[in-house]
Structure 1
Amino acid sequence: MYKIINLKRLKKDLFNKNVLNIKIYKEIIKKNLKKLIIIIGPCSLSNIKELFFYINKIKKFFYNLKFLIRVYYEKPRTNIGWKGYVYDPYINNSFCILDGIYIIRRFLLDLINIKINIATECLNFYFLNYFIDCIIWVCIGARTMNSQIHREFCSNINNIIGIKNDSSGNIIFLNDSLKSIINKHCFLSFFENTKILFSKGNKNCQFVLRGGIVPNYNYNTVKNIKNSLIIDCSHSNSMKHAINQIYIFENIFNQFKYLKSYINGLMFESYLEYGNQSIKNYYKNISITDSCINVNILKIIIDKINNEFSK
């Protein structure tokens, strides 16, 4: 399926395509366009063919919306466990990292060729350097949002940055991360240790509320945030029960329509079939990490948003 390609030859054309796409999303973040950014896909990439089939199945839903597909090739861990496709693409503890890097890169190129925009989470920025020209939206996770080196890295790239609240659900550190990323930094290159980089700062940042000890999508929390905001309908907001994403969506969509807030994005964990399974991966089309809603439920949600923007 994956042929040898000249990545250097393709890089310039891909970058130019991504710049055009990024501009649209930046206008939404600045509220120059009253639209919602929808970020969807499985919790983690685990099967290339299944995810490609999922994308082709759901892309026709979005005729009035801008959406990004989650290609989360790393899996954040509080302690131990499967760390994601890029570390172990065959899910058998063979840890073929070079295979993982190559397969993911080829997959991202395939998605760009069918005009799919891509989001990911930045855990290990050394990996991100292999994929950065293919990706529009980069998230700093709940476990890394306070990391100075992640903030420095994000201050030096042109991508849109999502900043999740920390795993406790506390939102007070969001402004600290934002302030750091939008400002200039001087630091060592991550690939050339003798090279000093001077970043210009990155102002294209969104906060991502993903819940914590308790959910944090309620209006009492949202009304105090004065920055572009995406609500994660999954993770701790849903208490890890996929079906709860429907109720969270209803709440947030009403906030977006009727109340003053900075909400201009939603995130869902969805896949071909409902639920999840163990890492042993006995069943097809089911997430091996967090539980997901299926394409039928997703279509009901997206149809409702489409109808709102058709008025």
Structure 2
Amino acid sequence: MYKIINIKRLKKDLINYNKINIKKYKEIITYNYKKIIIILGPCSLSNIKEFYFYIKNIKKIKTNIKIIIRIYYEKPRTNIGWKGFIYDPYLDNSNCVIDGIYMIRKLIIKILNLNLNLATECLNFYFLNFFIDCISWVCIGARTMNSQLHREYCSNINSIIGIKNDLSGKLCYLNDFKISLINKHFYICFNSLKKVFSKGNKNFQFVLRGSNLPNYNYSIVKKISNSLIIDCSHSNSFKNPIFQLFVFENTYNQFKYYKNNINGMMFESYINFGNQNILNKYKNLSVTDSCINFYFLKLILFKLNEFKNN
């Protein structure tokens, strides 16, 4: 991999910063501390300048909440469509993948220098290897959570793994992924043909994102004994961004008043409300899934901070 592209290495202080924060998140998950992790950002990265403006505004919010920034450079597709910034950083079908890798790596290091942690989704293992030293939380999406290759790969990395329920909504598949993830594997590394013996990864969270119906209600949550992230978007909000606020309110009350394993929430948020098509005619607007805007995000963070300070 590194023989093909020479990427900028992390400085020692950033490496240590990332390791320390991953350790803190692992403690929350392992010991079920009454702390909440918020994972937020747009559905997909599409504009470096706008995204960094969004990040700097989040940084200005005074809060004690543990925030992880979503930097989703790939876009999972049910069939076809725009596959994400890393494939097409100029949104013109030029397929400048090498440019995409360099641009994302540079952006990630800038964000780490703001003392923020990062999350991404694992679709293509080859791409993730260019960024994994910077990533605290790796999501396995609804379309890939049944993949044996993803399970083996994630069993060999240090980051926390967020496992989304699949599109059918059958929660038994979450346990299948969990069993595979925490166990040791032997496989051939896909980019170097070297033998890999993984140790297993016991640091994971289930992510409830809904299916045909929402699945964040207490009757489902109380049955799950593993650390949980509630995805306030996708099928839980019927893909209507304003409904993320209703999911948040319900989840917040469960977290505050009930004994359960909720340790976090995920939001699709950006500068402006809603979305647009890939022609990208409007500034500060998602080109994939609809997002809540910065105003609503601030309301959510202030509400969570109120609980934190009580």
| TM-score computed with the length of structure 1 as normaliser | 0.96
The aligned counterpart of 1:265 is 264
The aligned counterpart of 2:294 is 295
Pick which of 30-39 and 165-174 moved more: 30-39
1:71-117 deviations in whole A, cap 9, x for unaligned?
00000000000000001011111010010011001110111111111
The aligned counterpart of 2:161 is 161
1:256 paired to 2:278: no
1:202 paired to 2:205: no
Q: CA offset at residue 16 of structure 1?
A: 2.2
1:194-242 deviations in whole A, cap 9, x for unaligned?
x111000000000000011111111111111110000000011101100
- Contact between 2:32 and 2:261, CA under 8 Å: does it hold in 1? no
Aligned counterparts, 1:219-298, within 5 A: 219-298=218-297
- Opposite residue 172 of structure 1, the aligned amino acid is C
The aligned counterpart of 2:100 is 100
- Contact between 2:63 and 2:301, CA under 8 Å: does it hold in 1? no
Aligned-residue RMSD, C-alpha: 1.4
Q: CA offset at residue 260 of structure 1?
A: 1.6
The aligned counterpart of 2:122 is 122
Pick which of 180-189 and 26-35 moved more: 26-35
Distance in structure 2 (CA, Å) of the matches to 1:186 and 1:81: 34
Distance in structure 2 (CA, Å) of the matches to 1:209 and 1:60: 29
In structure 2, do the counterparts of structure 1 residues 297 and 158 end up closer, same or farther at CA, with 3 Å as the change threshold?
same
**5+ long unaligned stretches in structure 1:** 1-5
1:228-283 deviations in whole A, cap 9, x for unaligned?
00000001110110000000000001111111210010000000000001111000
State the number of aligned residues.
306
- Opposite residue 243 of structure 1, the aligned amino acid is I
Distance in structure 2 (CA, Å) of the matches to 1:247 and 1:62: 24
- Opposite residue 118 of structure 1, the aligned amino acid is L
The aligned counterpart of 1:66 is 66
Q: Percent identity?
A: 66
- Opposite residue 36 of structure 1, the aligned amino acid is I
- Opposite residue 87 of structure 2, the aligned amino acid is Y
The alignment partner of 1:10 has SS state of: coil
**5+ long unaligned stretches in structure 2:** 1-5
- Opposite residue 55 of structure 1, the aligned amino acid is I
The aligned counterpart of 1:189 is 189
| TM-score computed with the length of structure 2 as normaliser | 0.96
- Opposite residue 74 of structure 1, the aligned amino acid is E
Distance in structure 2 (CA, Å) of the matches to 1:206 and 1:214: 21
- Contact between 2:206 and 2:226, CA under 8 Å: does it hold in 1? yes
In structure 2, do the counterparts of structure 1 residues 223 and 33 end up closer, same or farther at CA, with 3 Å as the change threshold?
closer
Q: CA offset at residue 144 of structure 1?
A: 0.5
Q: CA offset at residue 29 of structure 1?
A: 0.9
- Opposite residue 81 of structure 2, the aligned amino acid is G
- Contact between 2:14 and 2:113, CA under 8 Å: does it hold in 1? no
Distance in structure 1 (CA, Å) of the matches to 2:66 and 2:144: 27
In structure 2, do the counterparts of structure 1 residues 241 and 308 end up closer, same or farther at CA, with 3 Å as the change threshold?
same
The aligned counterpart of 2:3 is none
- Opposite residue 19 of structure 2, the aligned amino acid is V
The alignment partner of 1:207 has SS state of: strand
The alignment partner of 1:265 has SS state of: strand
Distance in structure 2 (CA, Å) of the matches to 1:10 and 1:135: 12
Q: CA offset at residue 13 of structure 1?
A: 4.4
- Opposite residue 289 of structure 2, the aligned amino acid is D
